Amino acid sequence: MECLNLAKAEAPEPRLSVATFSQRCKQLARDFGTAIDLPIGEVAFAPEINSTAATMVLSGRASEMIARNRGKSHRVVPLAALSDDVFIWTGYREVWQKQGTEQNFRFVEGGFTLHLGRRGEVLKPQILRSEWVGRRSRAFVDMAGHPHWQLDVLESARSVVPISPARFDDPIIPQPVVEFDSTAVSPDGTNLLMGLTVENMHLASAALWWRPPGGNVAHLPETVGELDSWILGCVAYLRQEAARCKIVTTSGRV
């Protein structure tokens, strides 16, 4: 029997044409706004398309421009109110690319950021990220969980209150006592909690360790539908959990 020379099957990955990419931005914006109870038109996803890349960024009337810890500034929308004037905000951005002779864009990466701040203020400190990357992303690491959460709150705090060693040659400054608690101070005077780089951790959000084989925590999106379900499920969950937060002062909650 003569063997057929079949081309090696491509690994499944989300892909979109220029036209379907733009249409998806419109539909996803409507579904995104519904998930967080914002009226139609308050949330939009603006497509930025050229010959080799397509990017989807959050926009719309409810959005405000702010700075991220890393990367370019982007827009965020209110997710949950913590008080009359303080909100938790979220941003979302997605990147797609073409390679060589490909006709369709292929998914590279997408991610949420969560921020805390007041309306109209540019400074809204970043709290955490939720990210999902595809096989084309340079950020994909087999041993790291995908999708995953990353905590940015300490990185944001360090940018406001830089860590500096205590001056042990100054007799006016009392020497710190090292204790085993959240405010422990190292021998060089560094606050251990503030110095901890938790933003480097990839906290898997799809890891079933209690089911065999149990070792695979790096999952890749295979279809646009999977990606959209993750986006809408994730933002709804972020909103649910953001609503649990309170602002705590030294005198108690406000």
The DSSP code sequence of 150-167 is: EE-HHHHHHHHS------
174 in a domain, yes or no?
Answer: yes
Contact 60, 26 (CB under 8 A): no
Query: What does the pLDDT read at residue 3?
Result: 46
More confidently predicted of 193 and 56: 56
d(CA 85, CA 104): 44
Write down the mean pLDDT value for the chain: 84
Band of pLDDT at residue 188, cut at 50, 70 and 90: low
Structural domain count of the chain: 1
8 in a domain, yes or no?
Answer: no
Band of pLDDT at residue 175, cut at 50, 70 and 90: very low
Kindly report, residue by residue over 11-46, the tens digit of the pLDDT.
889 999 999 999 999 999 999 999 999 998 899 999
The strand pairing partners of 107, in sequence order, are 96
Q: Is the pLDDT of residue 180 over 70?
A: no
Contact 82, 37 (CB under 8 A): no
Q: Is the pLDDT of residue 105 over 50?
A: yes
Q: Cite the beta strand spans of the chain per DSSP E.
A: 15-16, 44-49, 53-59, 64-66, 74-81, 86-97, 105-118, 126-133, 148-151, 203-204, 248-249, 252-253
Average pLDDT value for residue range 100-104: 93
Range with lowest mean pLDDT among 40-49, 115-124, 186-195, 230-239: 186-195
Return the number of other C-beta atoms located less than 10 Å from residue 197's C-beta: 10
91 in a domain, yes or no?
Answer: yes
249 in a domain, yes or no?
Answer: no
Query: What does the pLDDT read at residue 194?
Result: 85
Non-local CB neighbours of 48 within 8 Å, separated by 6+ positions: 54, 55, 56, 57
196 in a domain, yes or no?
Answer: yes
Contact 164, 194 (CB under 8 A): no
Query: What does the pLDDT read at residue 187?
Result: 58
Name the 3-class secondary structure at 8: coil
Contact 145, 207 (CB under 8 A): yes
Domain interval for residue 49: 15-244
Strands 53-59 and 148-151: unpaired
118 in a domain, yes or no?
Answer: yes
2 in a domain, yes or no?
Answer: no
170 in a domain, yes or no?
Answer: yes
Name the 3-class secondary structure at 139: coil
